[in-house]
Structures are given as C-alpha cells and as structure tokens.
C-alpha cells in the first residue's frame, strides 16, 4: 500500500520527531511512503481566524498537490477536520466546479493516522512497546469532528507495557483553539489550568494525543509548572519498540 | 421606593468592554467561578441522565431542527397566520421593527391602563430591549416575579445565564440580598425560608398590580396561542390575576402547529433543566371572558432578526429555543460565566446572536470568544451549528479589518497576512523556518525552551513555555534520508 504523508506546517517546524515516528511506524507495517516537498499548511489557522481568502488558497494548494495520491495520511486530527469540514464550504464559496470535483474524489482518501491504521490497513496491534503510564487527551476535533471514538484506545490497548490512565472530563477542551490561545489568552489559560489539573491527577508520566497542537498547549504549561509530566504524540508511542524506544525529547 | 433595576453597562453590547477584558474581572473572582461551575455541573449531570434515557434523542433533534427550519423559512406566512388567529381569539397583535418601537408600543399600552407599576414573567427579550430601564425613566416600576429575576433585581445584579439567570449567586448571597432589601434581619439561608420570603414579597405584587408583561417560549401559528414554560408557577400567577397582559416575543418564536409543541417541550425541558417535563407550561389563546386577563396584546419584535434571516448561513441562529444547553456545555462559559459576554444572551449562542442583533461594531470580540471545540453544537437540541456561524462572523470581522487602519499595525493581522505569503510557496516557507531558527536562538534558554516571547507571542508565554525550534525540520530530515539511501 502507498500513502502520501501530509505532515502539516507546525509538525514540520516544531515537532519533526512526530513525522519521523509516523515514517518508522508505517514503513514497519509495509506502507510505501512518499512526501511531497511542496506541502505547507492546510489553512486551518487562517480559516479559524476569519481569513477566508487565505485559507482558500491553501486549501486549493492541498487539493492540487495530493489529487493523484493513493492515500493521504495526516498525523493531526484538527488538520483532517479542517479538510473534511471546512474545505467544502470554502470551495462552494470561492472555488470552481473542477476544484470541487477534484476535492470530492480526494477526500475519501484522506486519513487521520489512527483511521489509516484501523480503517485502511486494518491493524490494531502495531507491535509497539512503551512501558509507561500514559493518559490520552481525546482532543475536540478527534472526538466531535472526526468521531475517532475508540480507535486510539484500541491501538493503545495493544501496546505492550503501556498502562493507560483514565482522564476525567476527557471530552472537555484544553483551551488551545489556535489563535484563541493568544486572542483570549487569559480565558484559554484558565481552561488549560482546569485541564492540566485533570491530566496531572491521573499520575501518568506521559500525556498523549493525536494532535500536537493540544500537546503544545498542555506541554507548555507542564514545562512552565515543573509538572513532572511530558507530552508525546501517539505516533511516537506506536512507533516505539524494545529495539527502538520513543525518541527522548528535551 | 422603586425597586426596578438601574441601567448597567455590563450587559449593553454598545457599551460593554470587549470579551477578553470583561472576562478578566470574572477570572479573578473565585466565589463567582465556583458558583458557576457548581450550578452547571448539577444541570449538566441531570441533562446527561435524561438525554441518555431517550433512545430516539438524535431523531428528536433532527425533527426539532426541521420544525424550526421550516418555521423560519416560511416565517412571514406563519406570523400572519398567528396574527389572524390571535386576533380572532380576542388578542391584539402589534409589530415592532426595533427596540425603540417595541418600548413605545408597550409604554402606550401601559399609559392606556394608567399603570404606574407592572409585574413581569421572566423574559430575556425585554432585557434585550432594556425595557425595565426605559419604563423606570417613564415613571413606571417593573417588578420581576421569577425567583431568580427577583434576586437580580433586588440585588442590583445582572443575569448571567438565560435559563438560570442568577446562577452566579449562591444561597448565602441570596440571603444577604433578601435580608437587606426586604428588611428581614434574621432571615436564614435555608431554601424554604428564602422562598417563603420571596412568596410574601410576590403575593403583595400579584394582588395589587393589574398589568403584566411576559415573554414567550413559543407562538403557535395554527391556534394563535402563546406558550410560556417555567418552574415556579409565578408566571402562572401573572397569567391569571392581572387584567391586562402584554406579551413581548421575537418574531422567530413561532411554531407552525400545536402538535409541534410535543417535540419542542420534550427537547426544551431536558436540555434546559434536565427534567422530563418542566413544572408549569402555560398556554393562552386570546381572551376568555371571566377567566384571566381581559386585555391581551402581543408585541412581535424584529430588532435585527429579519436581517439574520436573510443570510442562509446565519439563519440557523434563529432556530434557538433558549434552552442554554450550549452555555452549560461550553468550556469558555464554564470559566467566565455570562457577564463577560456583555449581553443578555451569553455563552455560545450569545457569541453568535449578539453580534448579529446589535451590529458587529459593538460586538467584534464575541465571535472569537470560543475555542471552536464543538461542544455547543453537539448538545444543541435544534442542531444549530454554532462553530460554523462563529467562523462566518469571524470572516466578516476580518473583511472589515481589511479596510481599516488596523491592518497596518495589528500584530495578529500582520502575522496572518505574512503567514499566508509563506504558505503560498514552499521555498519561502522553508527559508522562513531557517530564519526563525536563527532568530529563536535569542529567546531560547539553555534548557532548550522559550520562556518569554515579545508582542503577541507574549500572550502565549504569560502562562506557557514553548519548546525551542528543533535543529532539523521534518522535510530536511526526509531529504537527507533520501540522499543517504542513494
């Protein structure tokens, strides 16, 4: 099976270890990967801040770059949600018929990582080993936009050594919300404080998610507060094996 | 002595400070925040249990949504039908294009009655047009009869929720307000004692004031009826004792058929208070000789609703049945309560309704008062896609900014415009990453983290660190790996 990796702008810049883990994981499972060097951003930040024209040009770019891909894998649930939920409206308003047709044929081939593993490859046990207590932050887009449901839990259940903690109020937002985190920094911080209290109460060593943007928010507060916890993208846990443990970061 | 509420700027969208600024006052108020989270946790818990017992909840949501959509898409027809049926039953229907006209119509009706006092059933719409303040200035005292509204009126407080307006005030604070305003020094904070005090206060109003003002939960076109749902029965008192009843209702409140209530009442009670059925549902149709008010008027208020209706994307805002499930589920409201929204309509529905009703320039910050987490849409009994409308409004704010001076100096605006240039070409994006890596060295500490950033970035680092930029981006790693393989 072939797949094109859309790494997303902030993973490329800030969290390359997540991308490397996706590569290690999918190649281990026999997926032939390619990476389009011209990719940049899905347009979510612009769309969510009201810059519709700008978001449209990035959406158009995405469709043009990936229209021939067999599958597109994206290790960021909010970017997948952007593509599925917001591209249709943007193309309806600003696009033409050709673009809408190209998108309609492309979108069924666009997968969030856990969707790709379970729905496309059909693998639950990816052969991972991660001997730590872990808490999973479900992320708003994962829960309410992509309806990932039990997918991440099924994957984690098969990771040897992983001790999964239950997160209270798991469906509640961490307060990131993209530019919301600076436009409404104080309210965002209050939401973050409440979320962090729940996360830390689990006694886990790692907080994981399928979206590094929430983890950047949570991890930033953990570091500031010496919370004794780290964040790690689920791809890195799933890539981790006895022979090649998750890359230690910072 | 007048007890009608004075005018406050905090819930006037034309005067209220922007959301982030208004929220600050609340974030630093531990008592208020505790009251808010406690109250919404109780309601949320009850709602979750009662929604779970309805196995056809999603079908009910679809039906409720379809009823409301149909009513709005044929609003002119159903309003005229309502007017005809209500008039035939002995009621008088008045049309008000805006708040000013509605206030004048109501004032004229009260003057005809020679009323110097009026009792009120809880109505958010009257707060929207700031009716109490207006009447006060005309020498007419308006007395609220809903328990929560009495607390607010006597305490000189503002509502912070549309179903539980005094949810930010706890029992001991109610005791203090009642003791002070009713002159009951030894009043205890026992709920029974508090309600008994309110009852004594209210009975005197009910028995002496012959004119009442109500809102409406629903107007029924088929029968010309008005429906009000409530928990206490004080609304029922206003509907039985007075001689004259004036109902103020937004034009969007209309339902086509009487049987539509079957769906709506199920959704409303479960969503609003976590009850299978609300305790009091009052329906009245025109005038019945010898029973209830003998003069009945309905004031149908537009006040910006027609313009919302004209936009296909924004129209769904008017489907709202004012259940408040969205604010109870909202993680932002959970932290800020209602006052930060600067309007009688707080929470996610307020964040989309207020800017549309009151014009954007007065409420530019509200569409951004959301992390777009989607919890509001998930619980909405009539399926209003609030995040979608928020995005629509944000796009309108940005389109205004494109024409304003703000575009030359606002760091957020400039940052997003520059980011768009970077994302348009990969080579520019990659050059910016390399430049950023060099620039970040200045602010990155020895531990590899950034603890303080200038400008907009400082908004991030006021409570969070940011990991420093890694020495190699993913695409650089991928390219290097490809070369090694060859």
A100-114 confidence digits (pLDDT tens): 999 999 999 999 999
Does the CB of B329 have a partner CB in chain A at under 8 Å? no
Residues near B12 by beta carbon (within 8 Å), at least 6 away in sequence: B130, B342, B343
Of B343, B333, B374, B342, nearest to B27 (Cα)? B333
- Torsions phi, psi for B118 (to 5 deg): -145, 145
Q: How far apart are CA A216 and CA A220, in angstroms?
A: 6
How many whole angstroms from its chain centre is CA B295? 31
For A109-140, give one letter per residue: b (16+ CB within 10 A) or e: bbbbbbbbbbeebeeeebbbbbebebbbbbbb
Q: How far apart are CA A240 and CA B46, in angstroms?
A: 43
DSSP string computed for B93-127: EEEESSHHHHHHHHHHHHHHTT-SEEEE---HHHH
Half-sphere exposure of B458 (CA within 13 A, CB side): 3
Of B231, B332, A247, nearest to A232 (Cα)? A247
DSSP letter assigned to residue B316? G
pLDDT exceeding 90 applies to what percent of chain B?
A: 91
Order the strands of the A206-209 sheet from edge to edge: A163-165, A133-136, A206-209, A230-233
Closest Cα in chain B, distance from residue A183 (Å): 8
Interface of B with A in 438-467 (CB under 8 A): 447-449, 451, 456-457, 459-460, 462-467
Residues near B435 by beta carbon (within 8 Å), at least 6 away in sequence: none
Taking only the tens place, the pLDDT of each residue in B275-286 is 999 999 999 999
Closest Cα in chain A, distance from residue B141 (Å): 38
More confidently predicted of B358 and A124: A124
Residues B322-333: what's their mean pLDDT? 98
DSSP string computed for B16-85: SPPHHHHHHHHHT-HHHHHHHHHHHHHHHHHHHHHHHT-TTHHHHHHHHHHHHHHHHHTHHHHHHHHHHH
- pLDDT value of residue B11: 83
C-beta atoms of A140 and B371 within 8 A = yes
Reading the block at residue A143, the tokens are 């829960």
Q: What share of chain B is helix, strand, coil (3-state, %, to 5)?
A: 55, 10, 35
Q: Where are the domains of chain B?
A: 19-307, 321-405, 408-485
Pair B146, B331: CB distance under 8 Å: no
Select the residue of B332, B436, B478 nearest A187 (Cβ to Cβ): B332
Pair B203, B362: CB distance under 8 Å: no
Check pLDDT > 80 for residue B360.
no
Pair B368, B331: CB distance under 8 Å: no
Residue holding tokens 């209500």?
A: B86
On chain B, the residues whose CB falls within 8 A of the CB of A140 are 371-375
Angle at B218 between CA B217 and CA B222, to 5 degrees: 165
Taking only the tens place, the pLDDT of each residue in A120-164 is 999 999 999 999 999 999 999 999 999 999 999 999 999 999 999
Angle at B424 between CA B421 and CA B428, to 5 degrees: 70
Closest Cα in chain B, distance from residue A200 (Å): 16
Pair A145, B374: CB distance under 8 Å: yes
Q: Where are the domains of chain A?
A: 2-121, 133-239
C-beta atoms of A47 and B373 within 8 A = no
How many whole angstroms from its chain centre is CA B4? 22
Name the fold adopted by B19-307.
Rossmann fold (3.40.50)
Interface of A with B in 202-241 (CB under 8 A): 216-217, 219-221, 223-224
For CA atoms B469, B472, B476, B482, the dihedral sign is negative
Residues B33-58: what's their mean pLDDT? 96
Q: How far apart are CA A247 and CA A240, in angstroms?
A: 8
Check pLDDT > 90 for residue B138.
yes
Residues B447-453: what's their mean pLDDT? 96
C-beta atoms of A52 and B395 within 8 A = yes
How many whole angstroms from its chain centre is CA B281? 22
- pLDDT value of residue A108: 98
- pLDDT value of residue B4: 38
Check pLDDT > 50 for residue B2.
no
Does the CB of B55 have a partner CB in chain A at under 8 Å? no
Pair B93, B83: CB distance under 8 Å: yes
Closest Cα in chain B, distance from residue A88 (Å): 12
- pLDDT value of residue A248: 54
Of B391, B398, B387, B397, nearest to B420 (Cα)? B398
Reading the block at residue A13, the tokens are 């810049």
Q: How far is CA B256 from CA A101, A216, B252, in A?
A: 39, 50, 11
- pLDDT value of residue B5: 40
Reading the block at residue A176, the tokens are 């990131």
Pair B379, B271: CB distance under 8 Å: yes
- Mean pLDDT in chain B? 94
Q: How far apart are CA A249 and CA B15, in angstroms?
A: 49
Select the residue of B369, B377, B420 nearest A184 (Cβ to Cβ): B369
Q: How far apart are CA B120 and CA B5, in angstroms?
A: 13
Select the residue of A50, A175, A187 nearest B398 (Cβ to Cβ): A50
For residue B142, what is the enclosing H or E element? strand B141-144
Of A18, A4, A210, A25, nearest to A129 (Cα)? A25
DSSP letter assigned to residue A142? I
Q: For B311-405, where are the alpha helices, taking DSSP H only?
A: 325-329, 331-336, 347-357, 375-379, 386-401
Check pLDDT > 90 for residue B466.
yes
Reading the block at residue B398, the tokens are 């940005």
Beta bridge partners of B34: none
Does the CB of B277 have a partner CB in chain A at under 8 Å? no
On chain A, the residues whose CB falls within 8 A of the CB of B456 are 182
Does the CB of B195 have a partner CB in chain A at under 8 Å? no
- pLDDT value of residue B9: 62
CATH number of A133-239: 3.40.50
Reading the block at residue B133, the tokens are 């303040």
Would you say the pTM of this structure is higher than 0.90? Answer: yes
What's the start-to-end Cα distance of chain B, in Å? 91
Does the CB of A14 have a partner CB in chain B at under 8 Å? yes
- pLDDT value of residue B7: 47
Check pLDDT > 80 for residue B6.
no
CATH number of A2-121: 3.40.50
Q: How far apart are CA B404 and CA B418, in angstroms?
A: 17
Select the residue of B19, B373, B466 nearest A184 (Cβ to Cβ): B19
Residues near B453 by beta carbon (within 8 Å), at least 6 away in sequence: B443, B460, B461, B466
pLDDT exceeding 70 applies to what percent of chain B?
A: 98
Residue holding tokens 């509420």?
A: B5
Check pLDDT > 80 for residue B456.
yes
- pLDDT 10s per residue in chain A (250 long)? 999 999 999 999 999 999 999 999 999 999 999 999 999 999 999 999 999 999 999 999 999 999 999 999 999 999 999 999 999 999 999 989 999 999 999 999 999 999 999 999 999 999 999 999 999 999 999 999 999 999 999 999 999 999 999 999 999 999 999 999 999 999 999 999 999 999 999 999 999 999 999 999 999 999 999 999 999 999 999 999 999 998 755 3
Model confidence band, residue B458 (pLDDT cutoffs 50, 70, 90)? very high
Q: How far apart are CA B296 and CA B248, in angstroms?
A: 11
Taking only the tens place, the pLDDT of each residue in B228-276 is 999 999 999 988 899 999 999 999 999 999 999 999 999 999 999 999 9
Q: For A145-184, where are the alpha helices, taking DSSP H only?
A: 151-157, 180-183
Residues B287-310: what's their mean pLDDT? 95
CATH number of B321-405: 1.10.1060.10
- pLDDT value of residue B358: 83
Q: How far is CA B386 from CA B37, B43, B327, B367, B394, in A?
A: 22, 21, 11, 10, 12
Of B329, B406, B323, nearest to B371 (Cα)? B329
Pair A200, A231: CB distance under 8 Å: no
Q: How far apart are CA B111 and CA B117, in angstroms?
A: 11
For residue B307, what is the enclosing H or E element? helix B305-309
Pair B340, B23: CB distance under 8 Å: yes
Select the residue of B332, B336, B477 nearest A16 (Cβ to Cβ): B477
On chain B, the residues whose CB falls within 8 A of the CB of A41 are 419, 423, 429
Do β-strands B117-120 and B92-96 pair in parallel, antiparallel, or remain unpaired?
unpaired
Closest Cα in chain A, distance from residue B72 (Å): 22
Interface of A with B in 38-97 (CB under 8 A): 38-41, 43, 45-52, 54, 57-58, 61, 86, 89
Of A6-10, B120-124, B246-250, B372-376, least confident by mean pLDDT is B120-124
C-beta atoms of A187 and B369 within 8 A = yes
How many whole angstroms from its chain centre is CA B108? 29
- Give the max Cα distance, chain A: 53
């Amino acid at each position: 099976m072939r797949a094109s990796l859309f790494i997303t702008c902030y993973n490329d810049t800030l969290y390359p270890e997540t991308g490397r883990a996706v590569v290690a994981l999918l190649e281990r499972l026999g997926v032939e990967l390619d990476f389009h060097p011209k990719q940049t951003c899905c347009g979510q930040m612009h769309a969510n801040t009201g810059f519709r024209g700008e978001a449209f040009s990035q959406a158009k770019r995405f469709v043009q770059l990936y229209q021939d891909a067999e599958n597109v894998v994206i290790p960021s649930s909010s970017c997948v949600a952007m593509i599925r939920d917001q591209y249709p409206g943007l193309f309806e308003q600003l696009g033409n018929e050709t673009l809408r047709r190209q998108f309609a044929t492309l979108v069924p081939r666009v997968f969030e990582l856990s969707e790709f593993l379970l729905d496309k490859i059909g693998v639950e046990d990816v052969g991972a080993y991660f001997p730590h207590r872990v808490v999973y932050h479900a992320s708003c887009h994962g829960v309410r936009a992509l309806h990932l449901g039990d997918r991440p839990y099924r994957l984690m259940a098969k990771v040897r050594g992983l001790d999964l903690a239950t997160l209270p109020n798991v469906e509640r937002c961490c307060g990131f919300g993209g530019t919301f985190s600076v436009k409404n920094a104080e309210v965002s911080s209050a939401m973050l404080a409440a979320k962090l209290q729940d996360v830390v109460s689990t006694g886990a060593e790692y907080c994981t998610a399928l979206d590094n943007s929430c983890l950047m928010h949570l991890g930033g507060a953990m570091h500031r507060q010496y919370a004794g916890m780290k964040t790690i993208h689920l791809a890195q846990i799933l890539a981790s094996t006895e022979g090649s443990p998750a890359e230690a970061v910072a | 002595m007048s007890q009608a509420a004075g005018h406050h700027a905090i819930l006037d969208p034309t005067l209220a400070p922007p959301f982030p600024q208004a929220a600050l006052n609340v974030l630093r108020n531990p008592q208020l925040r505790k009251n808010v989270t406690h109250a919404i946790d109780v309601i949320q818990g009850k709602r979750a249990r009662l929604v779970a017992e309805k196995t056809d909840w999603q079908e009910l949501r679809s039906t409720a949504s379809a009823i409301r959509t149909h009513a709005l898409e044929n609003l002119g027809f159903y309003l005229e039908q309502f007017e005809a049926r209500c008039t035939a039953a002995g009621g008088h229907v008045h049309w008000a294009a805006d708040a000013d006209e509605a206030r004048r119509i109501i004032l004229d009706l009260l003057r005809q009655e020679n009323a110097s006092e009026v009792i009120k059933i809880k109505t958010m719409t009257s707060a929207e047009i700031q009716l109490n303040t207006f009447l006060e200035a005309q020498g007419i005292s308006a007395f609220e009869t809903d328990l929560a509204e009495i607390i607010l009126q006597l305490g000189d407080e503002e509502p912070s929720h549309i179903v539980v307006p005094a949810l930010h005030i706890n029992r001991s604070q109610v005791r203090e307000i009642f003791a002070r305003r009713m002159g009951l020094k030894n009043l205890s904070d026992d709920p029974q004692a508090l309600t008994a005090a309110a009852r004594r206060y209210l009975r005197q109003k009910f028995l002496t004031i012959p004119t009442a003002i109500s809102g409406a939960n629903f107007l029924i076109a088929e029968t010309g009826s008005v429906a009000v749902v409530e928990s206490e029965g004080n609304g029922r008192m206003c509907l039985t004792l007075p001689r004259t009843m004036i109902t103020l209702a937004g034009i969007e409140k209309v339902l086509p058929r009487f049987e539509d209530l079957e769906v709506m009442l199920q959704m409303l009670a479960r969503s609003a208070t976590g009850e299978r059925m609300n305790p009091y549902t009052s329906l009245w149709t025109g005038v019945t000789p010898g029973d209830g008010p003998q003069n009945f008027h309905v004031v149908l208020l537009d006040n910006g609703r027609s313009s919302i209706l004209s936009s296909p994307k924004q129209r769904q805002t008017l489907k709202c049945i004012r259940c408040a499930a969205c604010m109870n589920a909202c993680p932002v409201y959970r932290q800020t309560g209602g006052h930060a929204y600067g309007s009688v309509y707080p929470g996610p529905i307020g964040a989309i309704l207020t800017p549309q009703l009151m014009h954007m320039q007065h409420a530019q910050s509200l569409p951004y008062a959301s992390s777009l987490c989607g919890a509001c849409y998930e619980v909405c009994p009539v399926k209003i896609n609030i995040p979608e409308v928020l995005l629509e409004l944000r796009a309108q704010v940005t389109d205004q900014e494109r024409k304003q001076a703000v575009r030359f100096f606002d760091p957020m605006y400039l940052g997003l415009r520059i980011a768009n240039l970077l994302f348009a070409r990969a080579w520019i994006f990659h050059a910016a990453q390399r430049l950023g890596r060099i620039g970040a060295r200045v602010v990155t500490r020895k531990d590899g983290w950034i603890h303080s950033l200038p400008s907009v970035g400082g908004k991030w680092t006021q409570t969070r660190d940011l990991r420093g930029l890694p020495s190699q981006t993913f695409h650089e790693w991928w390219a290097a790996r490809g070369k090694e393989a060859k």
